[in-house]
């Protein structure tokens, strides 16, 4: 009697034998894609582990933390470069990425148990995902452990260096085994693998290989720039020609588990009464959109004068009745400024006038601006809004790689590998041309019109100029999309240190007292410290990065 009595089958769950089929592997693969947003159990907060890399932007010169200075202190420390090895954002990001590596490994391990079915395409997708996670680990921490499928029960491995060879190998496998197109828009394909490997080569400074591969994507791949710049951040552009690889966030009527849980970004209050108003663009970024008389960026001098702002002024109709006068900046500006940054008196995503301080959480700390990309637009609100309590979980896709990025990466690879400058120029100009020909943000009645001026570069006279132009173009085109900190750190420690410290100095013109809150950027800041808790949990198998010892 006791034999049967003590055999209790597991309830309400799935055991491994039930998944040893093609369908089981497919289910696990969806589970691996689900880690693209880096949301897993046992992280401190949803928004610490960031699929869209928003808090890396806050570490860069593109964005301030915003909010009360004491609120989200660990993020403030990241912004101010006085974080330490126990920063919980750094630990949660690490954990989110390793969950992704292990989910992808789980697909590969499970596929090996299924006999008689060719699961190579599934394995290729899983290896693509694993490469994505390992790439993010490597570019953030450089020295990270490699976890293989067979390490499921013993994942405590030393961190002996970057994982470039393993990342390359996974992407090569994906290129060789993925179909050129997939019927489901979220899946990796051969071309997205090529674009991603090109990006990896760029980080490895293998510029020639990067140029070749990225040009293959440009010349032979299925991608094209969207007509309208802003469609990249709204319903119209999702899963369309410019999307190379994206996190396909999806809202739903409930808790929006599949929406973007980095819910710090939406406006504080504003037209939708949203929370929480962190992640505010910097004056430095706004200044970068200034153009000269020829519609070209002020590559070296953009920060000598500030684009006019309303820092310290009351909001438009602060009392609900009386308008407060403000005159918008009159100088020439790249139209992408107003696709990217919400500023006083300019229409904010179709909701009308950006009223100023009342839409900023704490203007004195975070400045007078708000982001526009990945924020709801008036026309998409029904399709994309998702909520959880006071927090927004939008269903706006995050573009891990979009085609404009591919063009600019190809241009950079050509410049750095002494390749064809005219081709690089052509790629940069394609990006500028789309911006120029997009529909500009319409001036609201009674407001002085903004002087939008953007033109194509006539030529790249030399490599130095081309490098500056390409780097500036990346910033202008891809601002607040989670690339800037990585770009600064791969441009080199000197570049990073100079840029950040100059930014801290200039930005203090707008954020009073900033100079007293920040610590100077140092060469160690181009790489994150291995999280102290990760070292502790490894029983010291993991070693701290040398810069951080």
Partner 1 sequence: FLLISTLTFAQQSISGTVIGETKEPLIGVSIVVKGTTSGSVTDANGNFTLQASPTDVLVFSYIGYASQEVPVGARSTFAITLAPDTQVLQEMLVVGYTTQSKKLATGSMSQVKTEEALAVPISNAGEALQGRAAGVTVVAGGQPGSTPVIRVRGFGSTNNNGPLYIIDGMQTTDGSVLAQINPNDIASMNVLKDASAAIYGARASNGVIIISTKTGKLNAKPVVSLNTYYGFQEASNIPELLNSQQLGEVFWQSYRNDGVTPSHPQYGSGPNPVVPEYIRGNPTLPYNALTNRLTRARTGNDWLDEIFQKGVLQNYDLSVQGGGQSSRYLLSLGYQNREGVQLNTGFERFATRLNSEIDATDHIRFGEHLSFAYSDQLAQNQVQGAVGNSPLIPNYDEGGNFAGAGPSGAAGLNNLVTPLANLERGKDNFNRNFRFIGDAYVEVDFFKNFVAKSSIGVNFNNNFAHAVVRKSPEASEPVTTTALNEIQSNTSSWVWTNTLRYNKQLGDHNINLLAGAEAVNESLRLSNVRIENFLLEDADYLILGTGSNAPNIAESRWEQNTLYSYFFNADYAFKGKYLASASIRRDKTSRFANGNNTGVFPSGSIGWIVSEENFMKGLPAISLLKLRASYGRLGNQSIPIPNPYINIYQANQQYSFYSIQNGTISTGTMLSTLGNPNLRWETSIQKNIGLDLGFLNNDATFSIDVYNKATKDMIISSPLPSTATDAIAPYINAGKVTNKGFDMSLGYGNFSKTASALKWDLSLNLSAYRNKLVSLNDANPKAFLSGANFYNGIITRNSSGQPISYYYGRDVIGIFQSAEEVAAAPTQGFASPAAGVGRFRYRDVDGNGIINDADRTNLGNPHPDFTYGLNANFAYKRFNLTMFFQGSQGNEIYNFLKVYTDFGTFFNGNRSVRVLDAWTETNRDATLPKVGTGVKNSESAPNSYYVEDGSYLRLKNLQVGYNFEVPPLGVKNARVYLQGTNLFTITKYTGIDPETGATGGSDLTFGVDAGVFPIARAYTLGVNFSF
Name which of residues 294 to 313 contact partner 1 (CB under 8 A): none
Residues in 527-546 that interact with partner 1 by CB under 8 A: 531-541, 544
> Is residue 250 a contact residue for partner 1 (CB under 8 A)?
yes
Task: Give the bridge partners for 176, in sequence order.
Answer: none
> Is residue 44 a contact residue for partner 1 (CB under 8 A)?
yes
Residue from 207, 359, 485, 503 touching partner 1 (CB under 8 A): that is 359
> Is residue 325 a contact residue for partner 1 (CB under 8 A)?
no
For partner 1, the closer of residues 139 and 474 by Cβ is 139
Q: How many residues bind partner 1 (CB under 8 A)?
A: 119
Residue from 21, 69, 437, 498 touching partner 1 (CB under 8 A): that is 69
> Is residue 361 a contact residue for partner 1 (CB under 8 A)?
yes
Residue from 152, 224, 330, 382 touching partner 1 (CB under 8 A): that is 152
Q: List helix spans (H) across 253-305.
A: 283-288
349 neighbors 378 (Cβ within 8 angstroms): yes
Residues in 409-448 that interact with partner 1 by CB under 8 A: none
**Residue 4 zone, left/alpha/beta (φ > 0; ψ -120 to 50; rest):** alpha
The pattern of x and - marking residues 101 through 140 that bind partner 1 according to CB under 8 A reads xxx-xx----------------------------------
**Which two three-digit tokens encode residue 132?**
């994505």
Q: How far is the CB of 142 from partner 1 (least distance, A)?
A: 15
> Is residue 40 a contact residue for partner 1 (CB under 8 A)?
yes
Q: What angle do CA 247, 252, 258 make, to 5 degrees?
A: 30
Per CB under 8 A, the segment of 27-35, 214-222, 298-306, 429-437 that binds partner 1 is: 27-35
> Is residue 517 a contact residue for partner 1 (CB under 8 A)?
yes
Per CB under 8 A, the segment of 221-229, 303-311, 314-322, 477-485 that binds partner 1 is: 314-322
Residue from 21, 71, 113, 227 touching partner 1 (CB under 8 A): that is 71
Instruction: Count the Cβ atoms, other than its own, within 10 Å of residue 164.
Output: 16
> Is residue 232 a contact residue for partner 1 (CB under 8 A)?
no
Q: What is the 3-state secondary structure (H, E, C) of 349-416?
A: CCCCECCCHHHCCCHHHHCCCEECCCCCCHHHHHHHCCEECCEECCCCCEEEEEHHHHHHHHHHHHHH
Nearest alpha carbon to residue 56 among 376, 489, 375:
489
Residue located via tokens 């093609």? 22
Residue from 79, 123, 124, 147 touching partner 1 (CB under 8 A): that is 147
Q: How far is the CB of 189 from partner 1 (least distance, A)?
A: 13
From start to end of 102-253, where are the E strands? 243-247
Give Cβ neighbours of residue 93 (< 8 Å, ≥ 6 apart).
38, 48, 49, 50, 55, 140
Residue from 16, 176, 299, 330 touching partner 1 (CB under 8 A): that is 16
Q: How far is the CB of 185 from partner 1 (least distance, A)?
A: 5
Q: What is the 3-state secondary structure (H, E, C) of 32-99?
A: HHHHHHCCCCCCCCHHHCCCCCHHHHHHCCCEECCCCCCCCHHHHHHHCCCCCCCCHHHHHHHHHHHH
Residues in 448-487 that interact with partner 1 by CB under 8 A: none
């Amino acid at each position: 009697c006791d034999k049967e009595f003590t055999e209790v089958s597991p309830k309400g769950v799935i055991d491994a034998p039930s998944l040893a089929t093609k369908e089981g592997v497919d289910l696990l693969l969806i589970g691996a894609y689900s880690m693209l947003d880096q949301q897993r159990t046992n992280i401190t907060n949803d928004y610490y582990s960031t699929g869209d890399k928003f808090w890396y932007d806050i570490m860069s010169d593109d964005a301030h933390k915003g909010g009360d200075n004491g609120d989200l202190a660990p993020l403030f420390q990241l912004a101010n470069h006085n974080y330490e090895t126990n920063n919980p954002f750094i630990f949660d990001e690490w954990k989110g990425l390793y969950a992704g590596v292990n989910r992808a490994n789980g697909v590969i391990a499970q596929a090996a148990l299924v006999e008689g079915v060719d699961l190579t395409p599934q394995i290729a997708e899983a290896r693509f995902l694993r490469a994505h996670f390992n790439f993010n680990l490597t570019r953030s921490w450089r020295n990270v452990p490699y976890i293989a499928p067979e390490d499921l029960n013993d994942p405590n491995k030393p961190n002996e260096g970057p994982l470039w060879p393993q990342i390359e190998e996974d992407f090569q496998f994906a290129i060789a085994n993925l179909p050129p197109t997939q019927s489901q828009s979220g899946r990796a394909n051969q071309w997205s693998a090529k674009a991603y490997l090109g990006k990896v080569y760029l980080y490895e400074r293998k510029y020639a290989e990067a140029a070749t591969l990225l040009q293959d994507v440009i010349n032979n791949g299925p991608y094209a720039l969207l007509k309208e710049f802003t469609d990249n951040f709204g319903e119209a552009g999702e899963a369309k020609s410019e999307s190379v690889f994206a996190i396909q966030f999806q809202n739903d009527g409930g808790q929006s588990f599949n929406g973007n849980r980095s819910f710090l970004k939406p406006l504080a209050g504003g037209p939708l009464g949203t929370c929480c108003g962190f992640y505010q663009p910097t004056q430095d970024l706004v200044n970068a959109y200034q153009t000269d008389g020829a519609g070209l960026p002020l590559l070296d001098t953009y920060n000598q004068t500030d684009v006019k702002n309303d820092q310290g002024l009351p909001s438009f109709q602060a009392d609900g009745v009386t308008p407060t006068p403000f005159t918008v900046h009159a100088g020439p500006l790249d139209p992408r400024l107003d696709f990217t940054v919400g500023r006083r008196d300019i229409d904010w995503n179709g909701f009308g006038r950006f009223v100023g301080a009342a839409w900023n959480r704490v203007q004195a700390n975070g400045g007078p601006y708000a982001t526009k990309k990945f924020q709801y637009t008036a026309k998409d609100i029904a399709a994309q809004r998702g909520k959880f309590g006071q927090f927004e979980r939008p269903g706006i896709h995050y573009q891990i790689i979009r085609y404009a990025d591919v063009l600019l990466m190809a241009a950079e690879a050509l410049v750095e590998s002494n390749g064809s400058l005219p081709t690089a120029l052509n790629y940069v100009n394609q990006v500028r041309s789309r911006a120029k020909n997009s529909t500009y943000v319409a001036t609201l009645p009674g407001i002085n019109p903004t002087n939008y001026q953007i033109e194509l570069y006539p030529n790249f006279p030399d490599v130095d100029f081309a490098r500056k132009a390409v780097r500036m173009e990346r910033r202008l085109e891809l601002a607040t999309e989670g690339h800037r900190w990585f770009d600064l750190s791969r441009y080199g420690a000197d570049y990073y240190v100079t840029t950040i410290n100059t930014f801290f100095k200039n930005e203090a013109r707008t954020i009073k007292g900033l100079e007293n809150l920040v610590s100077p950027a140092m060469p160690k800041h181009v790489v994150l410290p291995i999280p102290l808790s990760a070292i502790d949990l490894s029983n010291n198998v993991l070693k701290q990065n040398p810069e951080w010892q």
